[in-house]
Amino acid sequence: MKRVEAIIKPFKLDDVREALAEVGITGMTVQEVKGFGRQKGHTELYRGAEYMVDFLPKVKIDIVVQDELLDQAVETIVETAHTGKIGDGKIFVTDIERVIRIRTGEENDDAV
């Protein structure tokens, strides 16, 4: 199993969630986060004063998928979250050693 962690623009969340549901991804965890990459934030004007906004709002999606669904899940996120503009986000894929569903005690593929 793999953990897919995707950091995307907030307005793309609903599109990504719906697209993942269409390919069979039924569960996910979503967090509102702030960060920056190469774009290094931007400047804004507030009451006549200019100031730097270093951390931009993003959304982090965590999903755990079976190995055979990995490529499809990643491709779905890339296609759906892509705008072509700087700050589209990143996807990180890591191995999962063990998953346990607390309510039933099911493990690994049965728990996902």
pLDDT tens for 5-16 read 999 999 999 999
The per-residue pLDDT for range 13-39, each reduced to its tens digit, is: 999 999 999 999 989 999 999 887 766
CATH number, residue 22 = 3.30.70.120
Burial of 28 (0-12, 13-18, 19+ CB in 10 A): middle
The domain total for the chain is 1
Average pLDDT, the chain: 89
DSSP for 18-84, please give it: HHHHHTT----EEEEEEE-STT--EEEEETTEEEEE-SEEEEEEEEEE-HHHHHHHHHHHHHHH--S
Range of the domain at 13: 2-110
Q: Is the pTM of this model over 0.85?
A: no
